[in-house]
Amino acid sequence: MKIGLDVMGGDFAPVATIAGALLAQKELSPSDRIVLIGETGIILGELEKHHADPGLFDIVHAHDVIGMGEHPTHAIVRKPESSISIGFKELKHKRIDAFASAGSSGAMLVGAIYSVNNIQGVIRPCTSTVLPQENGGLSLLLDIGTNPDAKPDVMYQFGLLGSIMARNVYKINNPRVALLNIGHEEGKGNLLSQATYQLMKEGKDFNFTGNIESRDLFKSKADVIVCDGFTGNILLKNIEGMFRMMMKRGITDDYFTRFNYENYGGTPVLGINSTVIVGHGISNDVAIKNMLLLARDVYHARLSQKIKRALSRVTVVVRD
Is 305 among the residues that bind its own copies (CB under 8 A)?
A: no
Which stretch, 14-22, 28-36, 94-102, 242-250, contacts its own copies (CB under 8 A)? 242-250
Residues 261-280 that bind its own copies (CB under 8 A): none
Binding of residue 317 to its own copies (CB under 8 A): no
Judged by DSSP in three states, 32 sits in: coil
Q: How far apart are the first and last CA of the chain?
A: 41
Q: Taking contact as CB under 8 A, which single stretch among the options 141-149, 152-160, 288-296, 310-318 is the one that binds its own copies?
A: 141-149
| x/- map, 44-83, its own copies, by CB under 8 A | ----------------------------------------
CB 101 within 8 A of CB 108: yes
For its own copies, which stretch binds (CB under 8 A), given 22-30, 151-159, 187-195, 266-274? 187-195
Q: Lay out the site mask for its own copies across 213-232 (x = CB under 8 A, - = otherwise).
A: xxxxxx--------xxxxx-
CB of 257 to its own copies, least distance (A): 11
Cα–Cα distance list, 224 to 12, 42, 71, 114, 175 (Å): 31, 41, 31, 27, 7
Q: Which helix (H) or strand (E) holds 212?
A: strand 207-212
Distances (CA, A) of 132 to 113, 176, 245, 263: 29, 15, 18, 11
Residue 139 touching its own copies (CB under 8 A): no
CA distance 308 to 303: 8
Q: Please name the amino acid found at residue 231.
A: T
State in angstroms the smallest separation of the CB of 135 from its own copies.
12
CB 285 within 8 A of CB 14: no
Rounded Cα–Cα distance for residues 290 and 61 (Å):
23
Among 3, 66, 235, 294, binds its own copies (CB under 8 A): 235
Interface ranges with its own copies (CB under 8 A): 134, 145, 148-149, 180, 182, 189-191, 193, 213-218, 227-231, 233-235, 237-242, 244-246, 249, 251, 253, 255-256
